[in-house]
Structure 1
Amino acid sequence: MDNTNQRKALINTEIALFLRGLIIGKVLTIIVIGGLLWWFLKPNVFSRNTINSSSAQNVNSISDNNASKNASNFQTVADVPTDSFNYGGSTAWASIRQLVDSQIQNARSELKLHYVDPVNGSPGSSSGIRMLLDGKLDFAQSSRPLTDEEQATAKERGFTLEQRQVGRDGIAVVVNPSLNVPGLTVDQLQQIYLGKITNWNQVGGPNLPITAFSQRPEDADTVIFPNNSDLKGQALGSNVQYVYSATEAVRQLSKTPGGVYYASARSVVFQCSVKALPLGQTSSQLIPPYQKPMVSPEQCPRRRNQLNTEAIKNGSYPMIANLFVIIKQNKGPEQQVGDVYANLLLTDQGQKAIEQAGFVRVP
């Protein structure tokens, strides 16, 4: 009996050991199979991650390339001619020629631009457009819009003229620093140059005769009688003294107590030897062309007045001078270079450079 029980116990023990071994074997098998599956699947996971990472990099690269291609700078302008061209015109553009044009030619060395002064008369918008009409320039720079007469002359000669706006400036009125006058309205300024107002006491100033300085109308850089004005074409008063340039006018003003001159705000607001006057449509709304507070001549040149760009930008300043590239529409190289030059100035890079030159970008 005892032997029978011992055999049963031994058999049960062997069965238990067998079942335990079987279970352990199955567990090990599952672990091994799971490990193998993980091992074989792991490269695919890594591969997918690598592909996804690579794809993201490619997308970013494509995006960066597209952004670069769409970036508006001098390099993105197409059809830049590889030749030498003559240009000229407005003296107000002097800082653009010095700063912006040099940047353009550094970036696009194939384009060679040569500034040309007029042989007769003083440099300015009018003389530059006249030289363009006469075939002496390939395109012109202007601080005023084209006149009907200039368009008619172009038509007579077999082509038309296009004006492309590339920036904005103001027209500032400057006087001798010793002159005490609150400012002028646009109408008062016009009446001074027509010879109707001849003494500063007529506009709230001292009893002092007015000496008005101006470029000759045929060479004028900026205008105070718009094309659509009833005063357009009227002769200037006998009190007007003609000067060759803004530089000469500023020099004359410094020694003429009753002197007055108007010009590009960018050209004269920064000057130490003259004082800019506030302007307005009415005497109760006078806006300075400079940023307040005004810097006195005694503080200059340690400090200089800065252009009131905000008033020019929002149009509250009453006398705005738009900057135009004047392009000959003749389907020739003149038209090509004029278009390209305007396009260069209208890029983001060109507009930022125009602001650096002291002007306001196109709205």
Structure 2
Amino acid sequence: MASTTPQAYENLINGTVDIIFAAGPSEEQREMAKNKGVELTLTPIGKEAFVFFVNAANPVTGLTTKQIQDIYTGSVTDWSEVGGKPGAIQAFQRPENSGSQTMLLKVMGNKQPMAAPKEDIASGMGGIISQTADYKNYKNAIGYSFLYFATEMVQNGNIRLLEVDGVKPDKKSIRDGTYPLTAEFYAVTAGSSNPHVGRFIEWIRSAQGQTLVEQTGYTPMIDSH
């Protein structure tokens, strides 16, 4: 079953599934588990880079972590302030409790991101709902995701991944830890009685399982060669 990160955690906490593969939970998801009397167990199975990207025509090739924080708090609002051409920065965000948004909050530390851009969406109930506007590849836009999801957009030539603190996000910089915004992703369980779950996690952390993690496009926890 494939779903969004919030749906995956709901399925796990509600006992619909035995195991999910996802980014780490948000504080809200941890609280949801606690309220249900469920303990989340996170087993790292691979590493991934959290990346920021801009339109391919944007001359900015990199930002520092502080510049990213300043953009997302709203204290830096124009590309000319970070080495680009004059133009208001359109800083898109992701929906609350998505893996990417949880990671942004970690990058921000104790700084609060500004209100996310919203767009009106027609709901299935015939009304209009307002929800977080996801990345649109406008010339002055910036967005973020995990490298796995951004790779296709990069290959299409539509966006450029930004260096962070002078380091380009790629397999090598994820593996050796020089890229600063690296996150583990997990096999997450919540006390399933299914006897196969433990064996499955053992396998995915074995050399064979880690080879599969790498073939899927992530960086393995161990050298699978």
Band the TM-score falls in, shorter-chain normalisation: 0.7 to 0.9
Cα distance per residue 1:289-340 (max 9 Å; x no partner): 1xxxxxxxxxxxxxxxxxx21111111001002111110125x22xx45433
Matched, 1:139 2:19: yes
CA RMSD in angstroms, aligned pairs only? 2.4
Bigger share in helix: 1
AA aligned opposite 1:141:
F
Q: Secondary structure at the match of 1:160?
A: coil
| Cα distance in 2, alignment partners of residues 277 and 243 from structure 1 | 21
Residues 10-89 of structure 1: pairs in structure 2 closer than 5 A: none
2:204 aligned with 1:342? no
Match among 214, 218, 241 for residue 93 of structure 2: 214
- What amino acid is aligned across from residue 322 of structure 1 in structure 2? E
Mapping for residues 126-205 of structure 1, pairs under 5 Å: 126-143=6-23, 145-205=24-84
Q: Specify which of 106, 112, 115 is matched with residue 237 of structure 1.
A: 115
Residue 166 of structure 1 and its aligned partner are, at CA, apart by 0.3
Matches within 5 A, 1:281-292: 286-289=166-169
SS in 2 for 1:218: coil
Task: Give the aligned length.
Answer: 206
Q: Cα deviation per residue 1:253-290 (whole Å; 9 max; x = unaligned)?
A: 1xx1001111111221342211111111xxxxx0111x
1:307-326 aligned within 5 A: 308-326=170-188
**How many Å separate the matches in 1 of 2:202 and 2:189?**
12
Bigger Rg over Cα: 1
2:164 to 279, 299, 313: 279
Contact 1:184 1:203 in 2 (8 A): yes
Structure 1 unmatched runs, 5+:
1-114, 118-122, 281-285, 290-307
Shift of 1:235: 4.7
- Superposed displacement of residue 214, structure 1: 2.2
Could you say which residue in structure 1 is the equivalent of 2:215? 356
Q: How much has 1:163 moved relative to structure 2?
A: 0.3
Q: 1:268 to 1:130 in 2, by over 3 A?
A: same
Q: 2:55, 2:139 within 8 Å by CA — same for their partners in 1?
A: yes
TM-score by length of 1: 0.52
Match of 1:268 in 2: 150
Q: Distance in 2 between matches of 1:127 and 1:186?
A: 30
In structure 1, the residue matched to 2:127 is: none
Amino acid at match of 1:279: V
Distance 2:37 2:191 in 1: 9
- The alpha-carbon distance between structure 1 residues 139 and 349, as it changes in their structure 2 partners (threshold 3 A), is same
Name the SS of the counterpart of 2:48 in structure 1: strand
Is there any run of 5+ residues in structure 2 with no aligned partner, and where?
Answer: 120-131
For residues 173 and 224 of structure 1, the distance between their equivalents in structure 2, rounded to whole angstroms, comes to 10
| TM-score, scaled relative to structure 2 | 0.80
What residue in structure 2 maps to residue 16 of structure 1? none
Q: How is 1:238-253 mapped onto 2 (pairs within 5 angstroms)? A: 238-239=116-117, 242-243=132-133, 249=135, 252-253=136-137
Shift of 1:149: 4.1
Equivalent-residue separation in structure 1 for 2:79 and 2:117 (angstroms): 13
